[in-house]
Structure 1
Amino acid sequence: MALPADDYDSPWKSAVEHAFPEFIAFYFPDAGRRIDWSRGHDFLDQELRQVVRDAELGRRHVDKLVRVHDQDGREDWVYIHIEIQGRRDSGFEKRMFVYNYRIFDRYDRPVASLAVLADDDPRWRPARYGFELFGCRHALDFPVAKLTDFDSRADALLADPNPFALVTAAHLHTARTRHDPQNRFEAKRRLVRLLYERDWNKQRILEFFGVLDWMMRLPKELETKLWHDIETIEGERKVKYVTSVERLALERGKREGLEEGREEGREEGREKGRAEGGSALLGRLLARRFGPLPKPVTERLARATTDQLEVWAERVLDARTLEDVFVEN
């Protein structure tokens, strides 16, 4: 029973966007205490891409640029550059240095570069890059949070109310069970149960379930078993959150569409059946998540191919707005 390929990038990106103040508080508490969270924060992903588009210095895991207010009020805005690095990279320190000065050059504002090291080598701890020439010194020292340092704090992670304690536990369990589907299933089930035991609203539980589910991939049979366990948990707690139901419904919709197409006996019929079944189902899920759908959206769903519907369906749980589901990459 083989495990699907692990996907770290997408769940980390989603988690940071969903709960950025908690991300900073968990990994960089000193920085968190200096930010005026009451004044909000803005993600500047497009701007970051423009800043570094001609400075591709190795594969990134996840990077973010966030605009925040400093508590001391000396600057209107300051910038936080986040890198989450999933594997050892000899060019990582230089990349932190280059991105930091490029962001400063663009915005003429202080920039804090912070790194989360999500690799599995406890000895790799890059935290500085610089040079000296003819008496001129130029260097960047940056704070680092190393996820392997949390290995010895498993019980504390499970008791910590910060959602990134669970994300960290999920990341460590994913790495630890790379070739052990049964143990990954047991760990994932435990983490999912903890989600329901948190004093969180429905939306936050759904958001972080999506992160855990995306990160801790399971073989099909164990994934199906987990959905049944989740339905049991929801029954025990007398809640009806829709994550597992939506996932199973999507799978049923694909199968129903395929069967409808097969009955027509032609390839065009199979495509039509899959598309119509998937369009109707996705429309119901979107309406449950975001309310009544505007006419242009229903028309767009009706015209969509099965490939388009699958792309949009994968975004339903993580999208913050209806527009996020249909955004063009």
Structure 2
Amino acid sequence: MPHRVSHDQNFKNLILDYPREALAFFAADEAGDIDASVTITPLRQEQLKERLGERFRELDVPLLVEWPDGHREALLFVLEEETNPQRFSIHRLAHYCLDLAELLATERVVPVVIFLHDSTAIPRQLALGSERHRYLAFDYLACVLAATPAERYLDSDNLVARLNLPNMQWTPEQKVDIYAKAIEGLLTLEPNIEKQIKYLDFIDIYTELNDTERQLYESRYPQESTAMTGLVERLRTESIQQGMEQGMQQGMQQGMQQGMEQGMRQGEQSLLSKMLVRRFGPLDDEIQQRLAQATTGELERWAENLLDAQSLAEVFGDNGA
């Protein structure tokens, strides 16, 4: 069974790493006054339960925005990522917001829903009442990525927008150029190499270039491709170093040589796993278990096969060895 991509976790990381940029992009109607002076605080995701036997209701990312000079009252942004619009419940979202408003003693709540895909069935408003009166009216900000024209953000200085270019609306002919613009945004707007490596994976996951498209990208954008190669090499070095450090710690108890060998194997395993995901997409449980149990020699042989392989089967050999 293929490994499931956790879109929820991907977007939680994105929002928590870049809260200002996230609000400016996903909640533009309310984010006009959010400048460098404001403080943005992520709140606990699990709300207190009324009874111990009840299950927690989890929010995606509640962010409290406060203006130190007091010219605006604090705002609570409730951001929810929804991969499948059919599973979205406006009643559940309203319940979340009411609970938070009561818990934090505020009525200044801005619900924001980030939809990866579009659907005409997405409910946009909730109204409770009768033919005489409306007793509850609930609305939210919707960012439907698949319906957002990518052309508007190709040269945006908002990193969250640039990273989400692959999730926006574009034609198949634009795919490689969309990928290139996302990579360009990552390399120019994010100076931290650790985050560059982290969000290179984000772009790869949502663009899903095949081998032909990746070769086209490398020929059309050689400078960015070279920079990416440097990131991958940095990732390889760090993976091996991290594995060696772990192995050396274990080696204090098991013998230094054995520990270092184990660390090297763990580093090679981590690197090969990342490269396989980038090339062929998420790995199923069987492949992950196979990598975890492989010897250093097997990992090295599979890494060499990966250079020319067109499929996972070719990486691991026709006979499964």
What range is the shorter-chain TM-score in? 0.5 to 0.7
Question: Can you list the C-alpha shifts for 1:142-189, whole angstroms capped at 9, x where unaligned?
Answer: 121221221xx333321222122223312248x988xxxx99677535
TM-score when normalising by structure 1: 0.58
Cα distance in 2, alignment partners of residues 139 and 215 from structure 1: 35
Q: Is the 8 A contact 1:189 1:226 kept in 2?
A: no
Distance 1:250 1:202, change over 3 A: closer
- State the superposition RMSD in angstroms: 4.8
2:193 is the alignment partner of 1:195: no
TM-score when normalising by structure 2: 0.59
Cα distance in 1, alignment partners of residues 238 and 55 from structure 2: 40
Shift in Å, 1:5: 5.8
Superposed counterparts of 1:88-107, under 5 Å = 88-89=85-86, 92-107=89-104
Distance 1:18 1:100, change over 3 A: same
Which residue number corresponds to residue 126 of structure 2?
A: 129
Distance 1:36 1:118, change over 3 A: same
Aligned mate of 2:83, from 82, 86, 109: 86
Partner amino acid for 1:275? Q
Size of the alignment, in residue pairs?
253
Q: Is the 8 A contact 2:40 2:65 kept in 1?
A: yes
Question: Can you list the C-alpha shifts for 1:2-47, whole angstroms capped at 9, x where unaligned?
Answer: x986553332222111211111112322311244641311111xx2
Residue 16 of structure 1 aligns to a residue in which SS? Answer: helix
Cα distance in 2, alignment partners of residues 167 and 206 from structure 1: 13
**Structure 1 regions of 5+ residues with no counterpart?**
257-270, 283-305, 308-329
Query: Mean Cα displacement is larger for which, 63-72 or 242-251?
Result: 242-251
Cα distance in 1, alignment partners of residues 182 and 122 from structure 2: 28
Greater Cα radius of gyration, structure 1 or 2: 2
Which residue number corresponds to residue 276 of structure 1?
A: 263
Aligned mate of 2:110, from 102, 108, 112: 112
Determine which structure has the larger helix proportion and give its number: 1
Which residue number corresponds to residue 150 of structure 2?
A: 154
Cα distance in 2, alignment partners of residues 52 and 191 from structure 1: 41
Cα distance in 2, alignment partners of residues 81 and 39 from structure 1: 17
Cα distance in 2, alignment partners of residues 17 and 280 from structure 1: 28
Q: Is the 8 A contact 1:4 1:218 kept in 2?
A: no
Q: Is the 8 A contact 1:193 1:233 kept in 2?
A: no
Cα distance in 2, alignment partners of residues 129 and 21 from structure 1: 28
